[in-house]
């Protein structure tokens, strides 16, 4: 049983571990020159994964933690699309220096709101990717969408280019909660969008839900989960709201008195997870749920699941290249991040330079700890012996977790218990050599 005492002890800021080292440890010592060396050293036959960040929205959702900006006119988006095409050409030509296009197995459009692009811009971007890279016939082509603003023309463009996976931001269907976070979208609007997505060839659909929002309740969240399941998505993600107004000033528009405390947040997640299980959604790692037969479930069961900046994935590529402002590339040598703001990003691309402003090179120890953390985040268990890692090295961090029943340690096997599952990130943090005890840059564990 999870007690209030445990929540009081372990509800502390910890990373989500979509990378290791995590983004706060990126530094300016990684330059465009570093990025060029790393990209040109990629194995020529190995498939790549691509991420494209579209940093625009029509309206600010007050809970948002993404890198985006609000625009009332389309011209900034059109200018952005032209610059993105130039960035794609630059990197594509750099990688094609060996004489052939690099194979791409996965493409993900995120944001912001990717459907801020118009249909023609989206198709031109996909045509550029197909020109500069060799897209696999069974390409995993995914996009994040705002159901309030996606047009029939954009949906038709998605079908023409072969988008086969989509994710909709739902958060909560309760109109009181929606109004409190400036994200009003009635259930019927989302239902209509889902029907159109299915009619346009989307075979894998994810719905994002958030707990810990203003005025949420256990009963209300259960109702939202039921409504989400009625739409028959293959996947549902259940994220905890991260209230960090010192990093995201627009979050100050949320009335803090309406936010649930740590104990209420935990009860919300517990109730929603139980409701999803009763609806035959199987838990994947920390916060994803999927129907039997879904690729995430199969990957979890075959221990081929991965975790990256998009969450849990079946992507098999060892290199992820990011395009657009703030996009992060994950390469065998380390991580690279583009300039976060549109203006410096566009200036660098316009001058023919990679828009890299920071990153981090991986050491052998980083790789070892990253692999251990990924195993814990994906499966809740890890054999430290496989990584030649002795538990005694971090026993000061492991002992409290053992004593409080959050993990079992048998030999060099670490297993997160049922009691410890809500604190999976805290367990992973025991292996983080960089995490400062007084950090405030991460969301809380519960």
> What pLDDT sits at residue 88?
99
379-400 per-position pLDDT tens digit: 999 999 999 999 999 999 999 9
pTM for the full predicted model: 0.95
Residue 262 in contact with residue 10, Cβ under 8 Å?
Answer: no
Residue with tokens 């977790």: 401
What CATH architecture applies to the domain 364-429? Orthogonal Bundle (1.10)
Calpha distance 209→228 (Å, rounded)? 9
Q: Is 226 exposed, middle or buried (0-12, 13-18, 19+ CB in 10 A)?
A: middle
Closest to 432 in 3D by CA, of 385, 386, 407, 398? 398
Rounded-to-integer distance, Cα 238 and Cα 218, Å: 14
Of 15, 8, 10, 4, nearest in space to 423 by CA: 10
Q: Rounded distance, CA 21 to CA 367, Å?
A: 9
Examine residue 112 and say whether the peptide bond preceding it is cis (omega within 30 degrees of 0). Answer: yes
* pLDDT (tens digit per residue) in 262-278: 999 999 999 999 999 99
- Say if CB 434 and CB 22 are below 8 A apart: yes
- CA nearest neighbour of 221 among 261, 170, 284, 180: 170
Give the pLDDT of residue 3: 80
Provide the b/e sequence for 27-53 (b: ≥16 CB within 10 Å).
eeebbeebbeebbeebeeeebbbbbbb
Cα 312 to Cα 321: distance, rounded to the nearest angstrom: 17
At residue 445, the pLDDT reads 56
Backbone angles phi, psi at 288, to 5 degrees: -110, 150
Same fold, 4-361 and 364-429: no
Q: Where are the beta strands (DSSP E) in 29-187?
A: 48-54, 56-57, 69-70, 102-111, 133-145, 165-171
Residues 144-157 pLDDT 10s: 999 999 999 999 99
- The fold of the 4-361 domain, in CATH, is pyruvate-formate lyase- activating enzyme (3.80.30)
Q: Which residues of the chain have pLDDT under 50?
A: none
Tokens 């905890």 belong to residue:
240
**pLDDT recorded at residue 2:** 79
What's the pLDDT score for residue 222?
98
Task: Note the pLDDT of residue 78.
Answer: 98
pLDDT at 444: 62
Say what the pLDDT of residue 310 is: 87
Query: What is d(CA 116, CA 74) in angstroms, rounded to the nearest whole number?
Result: 8
Q: How far apart are alpha carbons 261 and 266 in whole angstroms?
A: 9
- Predicted local distance difference test score (pLDDT) of residue 350: 98
Domain positions in the chain are: 4-361, 364-429
Computed on alpha carbons and rounded to an integer, the radius of gyration of the chain in Å comes to 21
Residue 52 bridge partners (DSSP): 109, 323
Confidence at residue 100, expressed as pLDDT on a 0 to 100 scale: 84
127 alpha-carbon distance from chain centroid: 25
User: Could you give the 3-state DSSP secondary structure of residue 60?
Assistant: coil
């Amino acid at each position: 049983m999870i007690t209030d005492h445990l929540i009081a002890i372990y509800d502390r800021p910890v990373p989500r571990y979509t990378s290791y080292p995590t983004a706060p440890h990126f530094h300016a010592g990684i330059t465009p020159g570093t990025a060029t060396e790393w990209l040109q050293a990629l194995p020529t036959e190995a498939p790549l994964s691509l991420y494209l960040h579209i940093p625009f929205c029509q309206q600010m959702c007050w809970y948002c933690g993404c890198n985006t900006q609000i625009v009332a006119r389309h011209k900034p988006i059109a200018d952005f699309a032209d610059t993105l095409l130039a960035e794609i050409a630059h990197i594509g030509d750099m990688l094609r220096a060996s004489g052939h296009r690099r194979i791409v197995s996965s493409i993900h459009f995120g944001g912001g709101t990717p459907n801020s692009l118009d249909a023609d811009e989206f198709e031109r971007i996909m045509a550029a990717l197909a020109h500069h890279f060799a897209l696999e016939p069974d390409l995993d082509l995914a996009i994040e969408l705002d159901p309030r603003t996606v047009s029939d023309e954009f949906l038709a463009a998605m079908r023409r280019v072969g988008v086969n996976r989509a994710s909709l931001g739902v958060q909560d269907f309760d109109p009181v909660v929606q109004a409190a976070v400036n994200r009003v979208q009635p259930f019927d609007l989302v239902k209509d969008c889902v029907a159109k997505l299915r009619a346009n060839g989307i075979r894998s659909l994810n719905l994002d839900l958030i707990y810990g929002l203003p005025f949420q309740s256990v009963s209300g969240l259960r109702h939202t989960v039921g409504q989400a399941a009625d739409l028959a998505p293959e996947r549902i993600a259940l994220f905890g709201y991260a209230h960090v107004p010192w990093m995201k000033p627009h979050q100050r528009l949320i009335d803090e008195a309406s936010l649930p405390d740590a104990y209420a947040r935990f009860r919300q997640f517990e109730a929603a997870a139980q409701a999803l299980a009763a609806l035959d959604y199987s838990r994947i790692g920390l916060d994803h749920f999927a129907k039997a037969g879904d690729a995430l479930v199969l990957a979890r069961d075959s221990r081929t699941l991965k975790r990256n900046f998009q969450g849990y994935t079946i992507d098999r590529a060892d290199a992820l290249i990011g395009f657009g402002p703030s996009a992060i590339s994950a390469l065998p040598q380390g991580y690279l991040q583009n300039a976060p703001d549109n203006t410096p990003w566009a200036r660098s691309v316009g001058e023919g330079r990679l828009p890299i402003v920071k990153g981090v090179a991986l050491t052998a120890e980083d790789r070892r700890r990253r692999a251990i953390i990924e195993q814990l985040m994906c499966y809740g268990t890890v054999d430290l012996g496989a990584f030649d890692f002795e538990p005694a090295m971090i026993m000061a961090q492991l002992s409290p977790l053992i004593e409080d029943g959050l993990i079992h340690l048998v030999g060099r096997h670490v297993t997160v218990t049922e009691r410890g599952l809500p604190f999976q990130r805290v367990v992973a943090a025991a292996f983080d050599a960089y995490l400062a005890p007084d950090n405030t840059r991460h969301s809380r564990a519960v």
